[in-house]
Amino acid sequence: MFQEAKSHPNGARAGLLKTRAATINTPFFMPVATRGAVKGLEPGEVKATGAEVLLANTYHLHLAPGETQVRQLGGLHQFARWPGPILTDSGGFQVFSLSHVRKITEEGVIFKDPASGLQTLITPEKSMRIQLDLGSDIIMAFDDLTGLDPKKAKVREEEAVERTHRWLLRCIKEFKRLTAKTPKAKRPLLFGIAQGGLNKELRRQSVEFVQSTEVDGLGIGGLSVGEGTKEMHAMLKFLAPLYDPSKIHYLMGVGEPNNMRYAIEQGIDIFDCVLPTRNGRHGSVWISGEKKLNLKNTSHLTDTDPIDKACDCYACQQGYTRAYIRHLFKVNDPLGGKLASLHNLRYLQRICERYR
């Protein structure tokens, strides 16, 4: 359940999201723990960056170790030692990101696991079951996400939006069936996802449709998939007045600092993104002044500054120099990626904290 506490003339708002695991202040950013871990980081380290909710992935955890295994081991919270809320992505994004190894039908999506070669059918119903088995606190509807292929975009986009809506109804039905006996306070939340690519009319219809259902939150999907910043911002601005203020608004996959700020001022409450951790592991960090720094660059060979003098993250506070972290990257020590990840995560958390 979401409760708006205050809003700012700039469009940003702060509030509380009540989940069965904890009540969280919004806006917030979720680090991505696809397979149950924020790559290379322990839960305590992630928490220390200010993160309170983690995002895990239905498809990846279904493949390994499997939801039955996770359930038998006490659920994802127990398994991964993260007591806070966990949001699970439905596997819908993999319809897009693994588009070369999947086939969409009305029933669901057949994925071919590139590692084992095994084929798996994920349907809206199955996605609900997996997420409940995992023990997720915020369950995402299974959606159909298109890319931005300019040739097929229009037809495919309409089809994707309509299918996403049909699948949402199936998700809700299955979710209700499976949680019928669960007391309301112990039930996870269910978020629906609006699609529509860069088509405003489709987007409007989709947002309105999703908000008209019984979902607890509205996910904005299908952005940050290759469109330019201008297009994305224009869409966020267009959508802002359409949101139901009593619902929470989750912009899926966005986490580039500028985009996040912009989105918060367009009424967005939740974010997730792989950028802070993936970029971190690849040596790229954000520093004050909206700058990006590549720690692997030779210019840091003898650089005794911390990543960012103004930063309060663990890596900067410990006094690790850019020269040292560069060295770690050069010799392939995972500590480099870890420190940079912690730094980037903290950078995004500070943005959210300021808005709160």
Partner RNA sequence: GGGCUCGUAGUGUAGCGGUUAACACGCCUCCCUGUCACGGAGGAGAUCGCCGGUUCGAUCCCGGUCGGGCCCG
**189 vs 252 by CB, closer to RNA:** 252
- 140 counts as binding RNA under rule CB under 7 A: yes
Residue 270: CB atoms within 10 A of its CB come to 29
Check residue 55 for interaction with RNA (CB under 7 A). yes
Asked if 131 interacts with RNA (CB under 7 A), we say no
Cβ atoms 12, 264 nearer than 8 A? yes
The C-alpha angle with vertex 318 and arms to 303 and 56, in degrees rounded to 5, equals 105
Within 22-41, the residues that bind RNA by CB under 7 A are: 32, 34, 38-39
CA nearest neighbour of 238 among 256, 262, 272: 262
Task: Indicate which residue of 137, 144, 269, 272 is catalytic.
Answer: 272
333 is catalytic: no
Contact assessment for residue 141 and residue 250, using Cβ atoms and an 8 Å cutoff: no
Question: Would you say 24 or 161 has its CB closer to RNA?
Answer: 161
Q: Alpha-carbon distance 312 to 333, whole Å?
A: 23
Strand pairing class (28-31; 23-26): unpaired
Classify residue 32 by its DSSP letter.
B
Among 50, 124, 253, 267, binds RNA (CB under 7 A): 253
In 10 A of CB 189, how many CB atoms?
22
Backbone angles phi, psi at 202, to 5 degrees: -65, -40
Binding to RNA by residue 98, rule CB under 7 A? yes
**DSSP state letter for 213:** S
The residue whose two tokens read 């947002």 is 207
CA–CA separation, 18 vs 269, rounded Å? 13
The catalytic residue among 89, 143, 303, 308 is 89
Query: Which uninterrupted H or E stretch holds 28?
Result: strand 28-31
CB of 183 to RNA, least distance (A): 27
Task: Give min distance, CB of 224 to RNA, in A.
Answer: 3
**Catalytic residue status for 89:** yes
- Binding segment for RNA (CB under 7 A), chosen from 44-52, 235-243, 305-313, 327-335, is 327-335
Q: Among residues 275, 311, 325, 352, which is the contact residue for RNA, using CB under 7 A?
A: 275
| Nearest CB to RNA, comparing residues 34 and 199 | 34
Residues that bind RNA (CB under 7 A): 32, 34, 38-39, 55, 57, 60, 89-90, 92-94, 96-98, 100-101, 114, 140, 143, 145, 193, 195, 219, 221-222, 224-226, 229, 252-256, 259, 272-275, 277-279, 281-284, 292, 294, 296-299, 330, 332, 334, 337
- What residues are annotated to the active site? 89, 272
